Amino acid sequence: MTTTTTTTRPAPPLPEDLTAVLKRMRLPYLRAAAPEVLATARAQRWDPAEVLRVLLAEEVRGRDEATKAMRRKTAGLPAGKTFASWREHDSSIPVPTQSALATLEWVGRAENLAISGPSGTGKTHFVEALAHKVIDAGMRVAWFTLESLTAAIGKATVDGSVAKTIARITRAELIVIDDIGMLPSGQAAAEAFYRVVDAAYERRSLAVTSNLHPSGFDTIMPKTLATAAVDRLLHHAHVIVTEGTSLRLTEATAGKGVVPLT
């Protein structure tokens, strides 16, 4: 018995002059897809309008994916945690609240999110998953810890570019300040925090996570600045308090924090 192996011929390349035009017009994704699309179009006798539609859709798709990848890199998201690895029933955040926040309607309304609670209760994971959804929805994210925000504003203060730096930060539809209260904060941190909260107020969404409730930020920052910042932060905010023991500690004590040694 003889077995015949069928091999698929590669699609013929585009003519050099057409490739040159597509390069000049900066249509890389269309150019990459064109040989296969045109070969299929010839074989299946597509209408010319359908060929054009498919090629342009491929260019749009490629550009959108490239933009999302660039925005993820620019955002500075910490760990790549998304809703794919989020266990909603292990969280003390009510599931209906999780679902409502995941619609991102609050971001469209420039509302804020404040999540406080013990370490390890999923605050950062949940907010990072939301941040990925924001980027997938075609918006921008700026992610900071209070320390990295303080450093960025401090550097801008030295070279006189504070206004420019704040404007760049608030171009993002969602600004995240993670883990407030984990380290001592002084005047510089309080000023940086206030500047961003004030600039974003009623214009952009701000999400903060902390082991402290925002009403207690005046215990780690100068009272006047903390009060002014929290007043603006909470005016249009969804406030959530997480509870329970650390999910990280639970996994560690159950032997799930590492791959078993052999």
- % the chain with pLDDT above 90: 73
| Cα–Cα distance, 33 to 45 (Å, whole number) | 17
pLDDT at 4 over 50: no
| Cα–Cα distance, 225 to 218 (Å, whole number) | 8
Residue 6: the pLDDT is 46
Secondary structure of 26-89 as H, E, C letters: CCHHHHHHHHHHHHHHHHHCCCHHHHHHHHHHHHHHHHHHHHHHHHHHHHCCCCCCCCCCCCHH
pLDDT at 7 over 70: no
Residue 3: the pLDDT is 46
Greater model confidence, 252 or 154: 154
Over the stretch 211-255, which tens digit does the pLDDT of each residue have? 999 999 999 999 999 999 999 999 999 999 999 766 555 555 455
Contacts 24+ apart (CB under 8 A), 153-157: 153/188, 153/191, 153/192, 153/195, 153/196, 154/188, 154/192
Over residues 162-187, the mean pLDDT reads 92
Residue 5: the pLDDT is 46
Over residues 144-160, the mean pLDDT reads 94
CATH 3.20.20.70 at 76-251, yes or no: no
Greater model confidence, 25 or 245: 25
Over residues 91-105, the mean pLDDT reads 96
pTM, to two decimals:
0.80
- Per-residue pLDDT band at 1 (split at 50, 70, 90): very low
- Per-residue pLDDT band at 101 (split at 50, 70, 90): very high
Greater model confidence, 256 or 126: 126
Residue 158: the pLDDT is 93
Residue 183: the pLDDT is 73
